[in-house]
């Protein structure tokens, strides 16, 4: 394989959840190029099945798309927190459900061309315990769907979020193997 070498990294912007850099790269042909790089601390998500066998989903506004999206509960990893604990915490905060019997489904890198964001996706059984505990800037609606409904929404393009698609399809595969 051809070799690439980062010559230096320049900080462009330090944000709340990402850090943007310009990397000066030495290419295999000897030329140099500037590449954008977005650093991310990672995130976690959960396919949580409630007592009725439905999957908990959240609707929230996403600024990058300028619209609401339907997603599995997810969020960033706090310092000193592992991915599974973050996934459990996010379900509790966003939905008010407590999750047990948690299993790892899949890890994904969301946008490998320019970002190192890694999301660990888990599944578990959810029981309603309390109200949501949202951040000041979060406004989240909770919904519950049957797995076939979600698969249909993915196929029809109604669900476009990559972590949600990966999570639902991985969960479907997990459930099929259990049969």
Q: Where are the domains of the chain?
A: 5-39, 41-178
pLDDT at 137: 77
CA distance from start to end of the chain = 42
Q: Comparing C-alpha atoms, which of 20, 22, 19 is closest to residue 9?
A: 22
pLDDT at 172: 97
Give the CATH architecture of domain 41-178.
Alpha-Beta Complex (3.90)
Question: CA 11 → CA 6, 41, 90, 116, 132, distances in Å?
Answer: 14, 16, 30, 15, 36
pLDDT at 178: 81
Predicted TM-score (pTM) of the model is 0.91
Whole-angstrom distance, CA of residue 87 vs CA of residue 42: 11
Residue with tokens 């051809």: 2
* Residues forming the active site: 136
Residues near 132 by Cβ (< 8 Å), separated by ≥ 6?
Answer: 93, 94, 95, 96, 140, 142
pLDDT at 112: 94
| pLDDT beneath 70: ranges in the chain | 132-135
- Contact (CB, 8 A) for 73 and 59: no
pLDDT at 128: 86
């Amino acid at each position: 394989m051809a070799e690439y070498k980062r010559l230096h990294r320049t900080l462009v912007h330090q944000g709340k959840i990402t850090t943007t850099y310009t990397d000066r790269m030495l290419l295999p042909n000897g030329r140099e190029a500037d590449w954008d790089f977005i650093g991310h601390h990672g995130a976690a998500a959960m396919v949580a099945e409630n007592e009725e066998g439905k999957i908990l989903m959240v609707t929230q506004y996403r600024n990058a798309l300028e619209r609401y999206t339907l997603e599995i509960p997810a969020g960033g990893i706090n310092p000193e927190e592992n991915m599974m604990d973050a996934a459990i915490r996010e379900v509790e905060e966003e939905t008010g459900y407590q999750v047990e019997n948690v299993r790892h489904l899949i890890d994904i890198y969301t946008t490998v061309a320019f970002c190192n964001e890694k999301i660990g996706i888990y599944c578990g059984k959810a029981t309603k315990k309390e109200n949501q505990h949202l951040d000041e800037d979060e406004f989240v609606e909770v919904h519950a769907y049957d797995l076939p409904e979600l698969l249909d929404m993915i196929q029809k393009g109604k669900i476009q979020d990559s972590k949600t698609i990966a999570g639902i399809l991985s969960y479907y595969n997990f459930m099929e193997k259990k049969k």
